[in-house]
Amino acid sequence: MKSKITILILIFMTTFSYGQQDAQFTQYMYNSMSINPAYAGMREKMSIFVLHRTQWVGLEGAPVTNNVSIHSPINGGNMGLGLSILNDKIGPTDETDVGFNFSYSVQTSDNFRLSFGLKASVNLLNIDFNKLTYLTPDKSFGDGNVDNRFSPNIGAGVYFYSDNSYIGLSVPNFIETSHFDKYKGSGSISYIAKERLHYFLTAGYVYYLTDDIKFKPSFLTKITQGAPLQLDLSANFMVNEKFVAGLSYRWSAAVSAMVGFQATDSWFIGYGYDLETTKLAHYNSGSHEIFLRYELFNKYDRIVSPRFF
């Protein structure tokens, strides 16, 4: 059984290496700065976000993701600054990304603003091949481990929004980096982790069904060379500006349930559960994602109607 699990992990590592290796979030609508730097400062107050995701529970070496971010408007709200730290562990890999985000927004009409964002980031990658179980005992990568492989990157995005709608387009990383290329040039393709360009398109709209109920459909599309199109469709309801509940469908991958609660003006907590719809469901009991958001108000701020994105 362990050999089968090892084979599965290697298959999925290959998928991530040549396809969509950016961290995956079910509740992306609450963590937009992780994929689009133009979102920095859009909450119109200092916002601190902490997320933990455990994916494919029960599958050895499955992804575990932790994300901490903070962003705030500056210069009267026309500019925003943000910092994001993301750690992603998959099998023998341990990757940490630190991103610095800057945004500048302009008023395009009475109701809409257009924000432009830039991101500068550094990435540290570790791969410990000793954590793998080799099917052939005399085969190994020997001294091929990757230790704190450093690589810089840049990204950009745009975000067009109003009080009840948004659409964003971004490329978080423009530089394609081969992290492990020990035998590159010898006629073999040996690099294990090569960063590919990821194109993200997000959009959402908030409908006011009644004075107390809001409905927000949204979607995220991710396009990556060498990987299938990823499409997340989500629908959330907010009741009395306090309770949030919804469902999400990741095309040909998973269905998800999400709940959230605005505990105080400053604190919001959210939880999401994914159930796989692929054959992978036979090897795990689903994925769990929980986050906390804390927003710092100054003495002039007050919540009239919390933004639903």
253: nearest Cα among 286, 216, 217: 286
Please tell me the CATH superfamily of domain 2-296, with its number: monomeric porin ompg (2.40.160.40)
Give the burial string for 141-152 (b: 16+ CB within 10 Å, else e).
Answer: beeeebeebebe
Question: 82, 57 in Cβ contact below 8 A?
Answer: no
The pTM for the full model equals: 0.85
| Amino acid 31: pLDDT | 86
pLDDT tens-place values along the chain, 309 residues long: 443 444 444 444 444 443 345 778 999 999 899 999 999 999 889 999 999 999 999 998 899 999 999 999 998 789 999 999 999 999 888 999 999 999 999 999 999 999 999 999 999 988 887 777 766 666 555 556 777 888 999 999 999 999 999 999 999 999 887 655 555 554 444 455 566 789 999 999 999 999 999 999 999 999 987 778 899 999 999 999 999 999 999 998 999 999 999 999 899 999 999 999 999 899 999 999 999 999 987 544 544 455 678
The span from the CA of 182 to the CA of 191, in Å, is 7
The dihedral built from the CA positions of residue 1, 226, 155 and 271, taken in this order, carries a sign that is: negative
Structure-derived torsion over alpha carbons of residues 189, 279, 86, 195, reported in degrees to the nearest 10: 20
Question: 126, 146 in Cβ contact below 8 A?
Answer: yes
The span from the CA of 138 to the CA of 92, in Å, is 19
